[in-house]
Amino acid sequence: MKRGKKIRINNDNCAGCMLCVLSCSFFNAGVFNPEKSIIKINKNDKTLKFTLKITVGCKMCGACVEACAYNALGWEDENTVN
Ligand code: SF4
Ligand code: SF4
């Protein structure tokens, strides 16, 4: 997948699988630990929808984008159709 300058988030596609979170923590801290992840997921208990947030310190490595099989994460300037 071609790298871009900004990560695009599509919350509606997120299945909450946590692979992006675990990939991020492994890339950044060498461990599979959600608390060490820069990308965070919040689940709304009423709607059961997920909201993704990239917090401070993102290195734009793309590990989270590569991990997502649901097209919830991508590159902003990537020429793809959702
Ligand atoms: S691009 Fe940012 S949020 Fe995504 S895995 Fe890399 S450091 Fe984490
Ligand atoms: S953004 Fe993708 S990889 Fe991350 S939890 Fe949602 S579906 Fe899974």
Which domains are present in the chain? 7-73 (3.30.70)
- Is residue 82 predicted with pLDDT exceeding 50? no
Q: Is the CB of 39 under 6 A from ligand 1?
A: yes
User: pLDDT (tens digit, 9 = 90+) per residue, 36-54?
Assistant: 999 999 999 999 999 999 9
d(CA 33, CA 5): 26
Q: Which of 54, 1, 50, 9 is nearest to 28 (CA)?
A: 54
When pLDDT is averaged across residues 48-72 and rounded to a whole number, the result is 97
pTM: 0.90
Centre of ligand 1 from the C-alpha of residue 28, in Å: 8
Helix, coil or strand: residue 75: strand
Centre of ligand 1 from the C-alpha of residue 77, in Å: 17
